[in-house]
Structure 1
Amino acid sequence: MNYAELLTPVHQFLLCRTPQAWIDKAKEPANLPVLLQDHLLCELKAAQTAMLLLRKYAVDKEGSLALLEWLKPFEDFAYRFIGDATSLRNSVKLSRNLAGRPDVSYSNEIIEKMVLLIREELHHFYQVLEIMQARGVPYTNISAGRYAKGLISACKTHEPQILVDKLICGALIEARSCERFAALAEVVDAELGQFYLSLLRSEARHFEDYLTLAQQISTTDIQPRLQHFLQIEAELIQSPDADFKFHSGSPI
């Protein structure tokens, strides 16, 4: 499958494309460091989101501890500046098979999709860090933009709807990431462009995995909630945004 075919369902899903003003700003060499730093943290946050779903809804206490151990070296690096690329490359992997909780009917479905997603996101975290180091881009723990917060703040607060809403938000974030990988690939240097295209190939199915889980868990059709969040997402992407980040809106 070529990249155009991979992008077709992403473009059909999202309500808008990335504004040209964002692309113009992203291709300025001076803005590459912040893009790479924010992208690095986005990969970690994607893994954390999937892990929270696993720990809250799918695995037992032993499985939860194994997941925390898996993520710890990456969080230590990102938030406490402990470790480096070498230590992350040799960090502890998931040390056991995870068993679904018998009291949660959809636990095995969450495990199947989210463990693979976490593995890929952490690998991409390491790849972005390697690129940063090769280009002399220092790592700093920059502040989060408004995008994810703007989506999550619209989630319901009761179960199971909060889980369904968070899965929908996960789908939107993954789809927008893929759309931006493709947009960036056309305006950055060839080496970085190939990297973004490789991420698109790896992550293109993630948004569909989230949507599938959301519909499996929901007791009703998710389309009304999905349309609600799609509108919020499009507004976040198209409206003026003073903070330039990987998922930010139209630059002021």
Structure 2
Amino acid sequence: MHTNPGIISLISLHMELSQDTKNILGLQLPTDPRWVNLAEISLEAILTDHAYCEQKAATSCISLIQRYSDKAQLVKSLAPIVTEEWGHFRLVLQELEKRGLKLGRQRKDEYVNALLLFQAKGGSPDEFFLDKLLTMAMIEARSCERFKRLSEGLNDAYMSKFYRRFMESEAGHYTLFIELAETYLQKEQVRKRWAEWLAHEAVIMQEMELRGDRIH
């Protein structure tokens, strides 16, 4: 029987994951440690990309509220997240300004685009709704993991604390989207699909180029 070498690599890397990443986030692959060094070199680019990530997180929550305005718990839960994410956007803008840096142009987010391709196509409304929430959960989980790497690996003590705050916030957002999915759908369905998302995201991470000018 032929064994895909990519699968072997995934299994090997999975075994090297820290236990906290497995338990808290469920992510199958850790960020390559070299990414932090690249990000530190490209601070203006990483802050620019971070700012746009926060802006897109806010607008994505607004879109969910608009599309599912009949789901009272979702609206109630996401409304404060919109405010929080927009506040994060402003914090990153302030950091850029303080350092005499400029907000650059928004770049194509290859990671998010790859996730969007995995969303259910032609399925039931419930499946579509579930994948909308799990896409958000996945982005927040990976963002949390990236912010954790920055908080632990940057040489700049101030920036380490800066990203520690974001890490804690994103962890809460990740769990919120999972909880919302389980509010409206069967827990077994949510967990099964989440496992599929985690496996798919691991493949995306393995195939993506390592770049220090991107949060994802």
Compute the TM-score of the two structures, normalised by the length of structure 2. Answer: 0.82
Between the aligned partners of 1:240 and 1:25, the Cα distance in structure 2 is 15
| Structure 2 letter corresponding to 1:40 | A
Q: Which of residues 167, 184, 193 in structure 2 aligns to 1:200?
A: 167
Superposition pairs for residues 13-24 of structure 1, below 5 Å?
Answer: 13-24=26-37
**Cα distance, 1:224 vs structure 2:** 2.1
Gaps of 5+ in 2: 1-19
**Cα distance, 1:242 vs structure 2:** 6.2
**Cα distance, 1:187 vs structure 2:** 2.7
| Structure 2 letter corresponding to 1:24 | N
Tell me the matched-pair count: 193
Larger fraction in helix: 2
| Structure 1 letter corresponding to 2:118 | A
Moved over 6 A (4+): none
Q: Is the 8 A contact 2:39 2:213 kept in 1?
A: no
Secondary structure at the counterpart of residue 142 of structure 2: helix
Provide, for residues 132-176 of structure 1, a one-character-per-residue CA deviation record: whole Å limited to 9, x for no partner.
Answer: 001111112231221111111111134121110010111111111
| Structure 2 letter corresponding to 1:172 | M
| Residue 238 in structure 1 maps to residue 202 in structure 2 | no
**Cα distance, 1:53 vs structure 2:** 0.5
Between the aligned partners of 2:174 and 2:23, the Cα distance in structure 1 is 8
Identity %: 29
Q: Which of residues 119, 130, 147 in structure 2 aligns to 1:181?
A: 147
Superposition pairs for residues 167-178 of structure 1, below 5 Å?
Answer: 167-178=133-144
Residue in structure 1 matched with residue 131 of structure 2 by the alignment: 165
Between the aligned partners of 2:88 and 2:81, the Cα distance in structure 1 is 11
Provide, for residues 158-198 of structure 1, a one-character-per-residue CA deviation record: whole Å limited to 9, x for no partner.
Answer: 41211100101111111111111110012321111111111
Q: Is the 8 A contact 2:36 2:212 kept in 1?
A: no
Gaps of 5+ in 1: 1-6, 59-100, 102-106
Q: Is the 8 A contact 1:19 1:238 kept in 2?
A: no
Superposition pairs for residues 35-46 of structure 1, below 5 Å?
Answer: 35-46=46-57
